[in-house]
Structure 1
Amino acid sequence: MDLRLHTPRKQRIGTREKDVDHEERPSVSQAIDHALQRLESVLTRLEGAVTQRFEAERDPSDLETELAIMGEDRARLAAELDAASARLAEVEATSANVEHRLGQAIDAVEGVLAPSRASR
């Protein structure tokens, strides 16, 4: 029996020697398992990238439907804005009318009070 096969050999690392056991090196099956794990990891990432790409390039009819919905929303919002603007114009006109009437009422009250103040 040859004892050299079972005796760890010395390997020089920097300034010291280290025992290197042949059994510490990965076996072929371990190397294959490691390679398969790496391959599965890469395939998982690739699958994710493909899924993202498909989502980015959805069916054009889906995009057209989404665009139509957005157009309807825009039209509805524009109509609501027009109605709100018209209501604001009515409120401003009413406010100006009330301001004018209040000014007239104040002038009338002051006109009635002015002669009575002058006689005092």
Structure 2
Amino acid sequence: MAAGKTVRAAIDELKGAVAGLESVIDGRLDRERDRVEIEGEVRRVNTDRARLAQELDQSQFRANRLEEVNREVSRRLVTAMETIRAVLDR
């Protein structure tokens, strides 16, 4: 009977070790899945950052261009007003 208890104890110990191993494996798989998800999110964030940086550059270019056009329009308006004044003063 002692041998039966020893075998049963060894089997129970083995079952416990297998359950522990399964738990560790499940934890490892969960961490790996999380890591893959995080890497995907980092890639998406980097892609968004690059797109936003490009859009910002384009917006800055358009703003600079509008500023130049605005200065040119202002210059032309001043010239036109001076011409009108000169005509009216005659």
**What band does the TM-score fall into relative to the shorter chain?**
0.5 to 0.7
Q: Which has the higher contact order (CA 8 A, sep 6+)?
A: 1
Task: Name the structure where strand makes up a greater proportion of residues.
Answer: 1
Question: Aligned pair count?
Answer: 64
Structure 1 residue corresponding to 2:44, chosen from 72, 75, 80: 80
1:60 corresponds in structure 2 to: 24
Map 1:1-120 to 2 at 5 A: 59-119=23-83, 120=85
1:42 corresponds in structure 2 to: none
Aligned partners of 1:103, 1:78: CA distance in 2, in Å? 37
Aligned partners of 1:61, 1:116: CA distance in 2, in Å? 81
TM-score in terms of structure 1 length:
0.50
SS at match of 1:59: helix
Percent of aligned pairs sharing the same letter: 17
RMSD: 1.4
TM-score in terms of structure 2 length:
0.66
Structure 2 unmatched ranges of 5 or more: 1-19, 86-90
Structure 1 unmatched ranges of 5 or more: 1-56
Aligned partners of 2:31, 2:79: CA distance in 1, in Å? 72
